[in-house]
A and B are shown apart, each in its own frame.
Chain A
Amino acid sequence: NAGVTQTPKFRILKIGQSMTLQCAQDMNHNYMYWYRQDPGMGLKLIYYSVGAGITDKGEVPNGYNVSRSTTEDFPLRLELAAPSQTSVYFCASSYNGLIANTGELFFGEGSRLTVL
């Protein structure tokens, strides 16, 4: 298994540009998450999804959109990039079931985004 794969690993955007951060997992996990981490700070939850077709806001959703059309993929869209969105973005997945429910999150390697 590849685990959680994020692309791109690095990206520089100009203010006002749009882009999509891709996230894919091959572990058949039902839950997926997007976090951002600013320098020297902890992780902030942007959006999460409990299954295909279902998404919900986290702590800092403004300026972002997500979709979950398949179990495997959970892309994060930035519509109008702003310098405040300069951060490292982590995608994660977990399996949450009625019986087996460890809640353990598996993280990708991160995508480093700079908005100039």
Chain B
Amino acid sequence: DAKTTQPPSMDCAEGRAANLPCNHSTISGNEYVYWYRQIHSQGPQYIIHGLKNNETNEMASLIITEDRKSSTLILPHATLRDTAVYYCIVRSQGGKLIFGQGTELSVKP
């Protein structure tokens, strides 16, 4: 399974864009990049996923580099409610999602 590397913590000012990086240098050609977040002690929440192209939905944008070795999750206008742990995950064959340590994002007023 491809491993991911994320910074343990980041800060962001409310209303500004939050850019969360993720390295996945050993990703295989058929593996997707998924992003989830976990607010406090709730169950993780799906945000977005992608294979090669950049993706956007109502929550966030996902930018994947051309060589697919890294990606960035963008929250365009962070709010206090976006304070959470964000997990970047590479999906292995067989449907397993292996979570890493994630990035703890603190959005500050």
A residues contacting B by CB (< 8 A) are 4, 31, 33, 35, 41-45, 48, 50, 56, 58-59, 88, 90, 92, 94, 96, 102-110
Contact = CB atoms under 8 A, between A and B. Distances in A.
Nearest to A110: B43
B97 A41 contact: no
Contact of B97 (A56, A103, A110): A103
Contacts of B46: 104-106
- CB-CB nearest 9 A-B residue pairs: A107-B43, A43-B99, A104-B46, A42-B99, A42-B101, A96-B95, A31-B95, A90-B43, A107-B44
Contacts of B43: 4, 90, 92, 107-110
B49 interface: yes
A38 B100 CA distance: 13
Q: Is the interface of A mostly helix, strand, loop or mixed?
A: strand
Contacts of A106: 46
Interface bin, chain B: 20 to 34
B91 interface: yes
Interface in B12-49: 32, 34, 36, 41-46, 49
A48 B98 contact: no
B95 A43 contact: no
Contacts of A44: 99
Contact of B95 (A48, A107, A108): A48
Contacts of B94: 50, 56
Interface in B48-99: 49, 85, 87, 91, 94-99
Contacts of A92: 43-44
A116 to B, nearest CB: 20
Contacts of A105: 36, 44, 46, 97
